[in-house]
């Protein structure tokens, strides 16, 4: 069974059609984990891979996918998806399986990474430029 329903497929296609440059997705898989009864019926790594393969196919050449093992891109937990505009590491990650509503977050990250100009306002960019060093932002989300 496909991951996306026909209407979702069409919506994702339309979003990805707007990419102005190619975006690479790097999936980093971790070491095998001991299953926890009742909590790990799903193979998150395999599902992530399946989902990304389908997403990339909807990108019609605008998205690429590579799969890596533990240690790549200095990721902290698994599975991890690194969103790389034109293959460059811009520091954008998704940790976990982006299912449910969170697929929208990943598609949104691809769309943003695919822009050649920031979607932030000039005022925001000016303010953010005053930061003296890299700042890390973690956004905790849930699929529902």
What single-letter DSSP state applies at residue 42?
Answer: S
In the complex with another protein, which residue's Cβ is closer, 16 or 81? 81
Q: Segment near another protein (CB under 8 A), from 3-11, 24-32, 59-67, 119-127? A: 119-127
Do the Cβ atoms of 26 and 84 come closer than 8 Å? yes
**Of residues 1-30, which lie at the interface with another protein (CB under 8 A)?**
none
The reply on whether position 35 binds another protein by CB under 8 A is no
Q: Which residues pair with 26 in a beta bridge?
A: 66, 82
The reply on whether position 95 binds another protein by CB under 8 A is yes
Cα dihedral across residues 141, 30, 110, 4: positive or negative: negative
Do the Cβ atoms of 25 and 84 come closer than 8 Å? yes
**Site residues (CB under 8 A) for another protein?**
44, 77, 91-98, 102, 105-106, 109, 120-121, 123-124, 127-128, 130-132, 134-143
């Amino acid at each position: 069974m496909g991951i996306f329903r026909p209407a979702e497929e069409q919506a994702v296609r339309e979003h990805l059609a707007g990419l102005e440059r190619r975006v690479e997705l790097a999936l980093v898989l971790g070491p095998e984990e001991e299953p926890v009864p009742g909590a790990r019926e799903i193979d998150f790594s395999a599902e992530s891979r399946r989902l990304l393969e389908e997403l990339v196919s909807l990108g019609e050449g605008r998205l690429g996918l590579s799969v890596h093992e533990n240690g790549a891109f200095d990721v902290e937990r698994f599975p991890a998806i690194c969103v790389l505009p034109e293959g460059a590491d811009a520091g954008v990650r998704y940790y976990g399986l982006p299912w449910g509503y969170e697929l929208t977050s990943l598609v949104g990250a691809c769309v943003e990474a695919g822009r050649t100009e920031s979607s932030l306002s000039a005022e925001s960019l000016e303010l953010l430029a005053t930061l003296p060093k890299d700042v890390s932002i973690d956004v905790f989300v849930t699929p529902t």
